[in-house]
Copies of this chain bind each other. A is one copy, B any other.
Amino acid sequence: MGKNLKRVGILTGGGDCPGLNAVIRAVTKAAMGGGIEVVGIEDGYLGLIQNRMRVLNNEDVSNILTTGGTILGACNKSNPAAYSVPEGEGWVVRDVRDKVVEHYESAGLDAFVVIGGDGTMSSAVKLIERGLNIVGVPKTIDNDLWGTDITFGHDTAVQTAAEALDKVHTTASSHHRVMVVELMGRYAGWLALNAGLASGADVILIPEIAFDIERICSKCVERSKHGKRFTIIVAGEGAKPAGGELFVERVDDTSPDPIRLGGIAHYVAREVETRTGLESRSIVLGHIQRGGIPTPRDRLLATQFGFHAFELLQQRRFGRVVVEREGKIGSTPIADVADKIRTVPLDHVLIRSARAVGTYFGD
């Protein structure tokens, strides 16, 4: 393998996230501008396992900057080091990295870019062990990837959630009601905190701060006594009561190790109504938080992340993942971010600001 790259691949792993196509476009356009051919790998690692790839040209990446989804397809459950294959009546888990190495080599790839979350990065580490050249681009609407201050997709998810909360606000203000809205975010509170604070929620429940249901009830009653017609409670799907268990509803299939989340909104609404007599409703916003046209900010961030991924390729700085820290685009070893999550520090200025404007965290 010579010094100069001739051909690189790109794949998108894990769940949907606005901005994926913007990264694909940036990597492809930058690479083609540098005389490097780009190969699109279909359906995440599955395309490497099943040898489904195609050369991307200018036409393929035209008019995709503003579109949601991924032109390459994605697949959550295809870690090559632990790949489920049918056997007899059931399934067995196999290490199919040999196949991946074979297809990587036969396709003439010098390296490839993986765009994904913690699960995708963990799988990448396992392939790096086998000598493959990989550059990572972090992706999650939850903003919980360790090592980077921000990920593309998060701004769009915050906007989708905040717009829904704005709508709930008008409904709630016409009727005397407690509205509980459950947002995504897995074990981190970034999405609930950002969307809740941006829309002026009265109570925000996040996984980082265990809540006391009795105190939330008191807060609702107190507001009602002070003539407030309504209380809006935003709950991250991973929020839990002090001493309590995580509620279980959604299986997070973007994680290689499925975690169970959700149910929190129904729980809180039911308890508040039962304990206080105040009419309460719950809304689970669900998958619409993952979709949609990326915000301009996410398109910009995704474009810069894609560009820097190309720079890392060019500089042969493999095994690294693009990050933004302290306002600057840079990189860090993939191994450092795999299987870790970044939660909201309790003294974060967002939390202190929220408390200062009267937001209650249920603690």
Contact = CB atoms under 8 A, between A and B. Distances in A.
A284 interface: yes
Which of A300, A352, A356 gathers the greatest number of chain B CB atoms within 10 Å?
Answer: A356
Contacts of A175: 15-16, 73-76
A263 B299 CA distance: 29
A171 B326 contact: no
Interface string A47-80: 0000000000000000101111110011110000
Given A167-B291, A327-B326, A358-B29, A199 B74 contact: no
A92 interface: no
Interface in A236-289: 281, 283-288
A286 B285 CA distance: 9
B174 A73 contact: yes
A292 B297 CA distance: 17
A16 to B, nearest CB: 4
Interface stretch (A102-110, A120-128, A152-160): A152-160
Given A291-B169, A296-B159, A358-B33, A304 B67 contact: no
A287 B296 contact: no
A57 to B, nearest CB: 13
A16 B174 contact: yes
A99 interface: no
Contact of A179 (B69, B195, B287): B287
A195 B76 contact: no
A292 B166 contact: yes
Interface string A25-38: 11001100100000
- Main secondary structure on A side of the interface with B: helix
Given A171-B16, A349-B329, A166 B197 contact: no
Contact of A357 (B29, B66, B74, B171): B29
A357 to B, nearest CB: 4
Contacts of A20: 174
Which of A12, A175, A293, A326 gathers the greatest number of chain B CB atoms within 10 Å?
Answer: A175
A26 B353 contact: yes
B349 A304 contact: yes
A327 B329 contact: no
Contacts of A307: 349, 352-353, 356-357
A26 B174 CA distance: 19
Given A68-B169, A162-B299, A179-B287, 18 more contacts: A12-B174, A16-B174, A65-B198, A66-B166, A69-B174, A73-B175, A74-B174, A159-B295, A166-B291, A167-B288, A167-B291, A167-B292, A168-B288, A194-B296, A199-B296, A283-B288, A307-B349, A307-B357
